[in-house]
């Protein structure tokens, strides 16, 4: 399991990446990240929702209330163009970080 301090920095990239495939509500964002990371990245409410609101304030996402197929109201988040633009440099930044870690700490990734 990855420690909270390490996970914190990954959340922005993880959220933007799962929203790249289409709009999702908060619970589903958390679930997709957990699934796609093989359970390694799991965010609590305290980590996920403040981040979603922060990203919404920055104009990266937009949350809109919708009625789901089960009749329940859910706030769906959609990736906005500004968020989309953030993905490329963010991915490059993480790739740089992994390369640097590989050189310094002999860290390898699967």
Partner 1 sequence: MRDWQRYVRENLGSLRVNSAEFEEVAQELAAHLEETYERLRLSGLPEGQADLQTRAQAGNWKELNTQLNSARQEGTMNGRVKRIWIPSLLTLLTCWTILALLIWAGAQPLIWNRAEPRSAILYLPWLLLLPLIGAMGGYLSRREDGAGYQVYVAGTFPALAIAAILAVTFPFAFFVDPRIAPDFKLDSLLAMVLSWVILPGIALCAGVAFVNRYKPALPVKAGTT
Which x/- pattern over 76-105 shows residues binding partner 1 (rule: CB under 8 A)? x-x-xxx-----------------------
Residue 9 near partner 1 by CB under 8 A: no
Secondary structure (3-state) at 30: helix
DSSP H/E element including 38: none
Distance between CA atoms of residues 4 and 44, nearest Å: 10
The correct pick among 46, 104, 105, 110 for binding partner 1 (CB under 8 A) is 46
Please identify which residue in 2, 35, 36, 59 interacts with partner 1, judged by CB under 8 A: 59
Do β-strands 61-67 and 24-25 pair in parallel, antiparallel, or remain unpaired?
Answer: unpaired
* Coil/strand/helix, residue 40: coil
Binding site for partner 1 (CB under 8 A): 21-28, 30-31, 44-47, 49-51, 53-54, 57-59, 62, 64-66, 68-70, 72-76, 78, 80-82
């Amino acid at each position: 399991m990855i420690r909270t301090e390490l996970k914190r920095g990954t959340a922005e990239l993880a959220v933007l990446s799962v929203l790249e495939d289409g709009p999702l509500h908060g619970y589903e964002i958390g679930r997709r990240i957990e699934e796609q990371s093989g359970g390694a990245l799991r965010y609590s409410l305290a980590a996920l929702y403040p981040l979603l609101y922060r990203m919404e304030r920055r104009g990266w996402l937009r949350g809109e209330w919708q009625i789901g197929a089960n009749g329940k109201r859910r706030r769906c988040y959609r990736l906005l163009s500004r968020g989309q633009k953030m993905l490329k440099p963010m991915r490059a930044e993480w790739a740089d970080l992994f390369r640097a870690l590989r050189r310094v700490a002999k860290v390898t990734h699967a």
